[in-house]
Amino acid sequence: MINQRLINIIAKIRQAEISYNRQVGDVLLLAVSKTKTAQDIAQAYSAGQRHFGENYYQEALIKQQELGAYDITWHFIGPIQSNKTKVIASHFAWVHSVDSLKIATRLSEQRPLSMPPLNICLQVNISGEKTKSGIALGDLAELCGLVATLPNIKLRGVMAVPEPEDDFERQRQPFHTLYQAVKKLNLLQLDTFSFGMSGDLNAAIAEGATIVRIGTALFGQR
Ligand SMILES: *Cc1c(COP(=O)(O)O)cnc(C)c1O
- Total number of residues shown for the chain: 222
Residue 214 alpha carbon to ligand 1 centre in Å: 6
Ligand 1 centroid – CA 53 distance (Å): 9
* CA separation for the pair 217, 199 (Å, rounded): 8
Binding site membership of 55 for ligand 1 (Cβ less than 6 Å): yes
Angle, helix 140-147 to helix 168-185, in steps of 10 degrees: 50
- Helical axes 38-46 vs 2-19, angle rounded to 10°: 60
Q: Which atom of ligand 1 is nearest to the CA of 218?
A: 9
Q: Quick one: what percent of the chain has pLDDT higher than 90?
A: 94
Angstrom distance (rounded) from CA 17 to CA 157: 20
Report pLDDT for 188: 83
Phi then psi for residue 116, to 5 deg, are -65, 165
pLDDT at 129: 67
Report the C-alpha gap between 37 and 170 in whole angstroms: 34
Please enumerate in sequence order all residues whose Cβ is within 8 A of that of 194, keeping only pairs 6 or more positions apart, or say none: 30, 96, 121, 157, 158, 159, 160, 209, 210, 211, 213
Domains in the chain, CATH or no CATH each = 2-219 (3.20.20.10)
Q: Which residues of the chain have pLDDT under 50?
A: none
For residue 34 and ligand 1, the question of a CB distance below 6 A is answered with yes
Phi, psi of 143 (to 5 degrees): -65, -40
Nearest atom, ligand 1, residue 161 CA: 13
Instruction: Return the SS3 of 75.
Output: strand
Question: In this predicted structure, what is the pLDDT of residue 130?
Answer: 65
User: If we measure between CA atoms, which residue out of 28, 20, 86 comes closest to residue 57?
Assistant: 86
- Say what the pLDDT of residue 90 is: 98
What's the predicted TM-score (pTM) here?
A: 0.97
Rg of the chain, C-alpha, whole Å: 17
* C-alpha 114 – ligand 1 centre gap (Å): 30
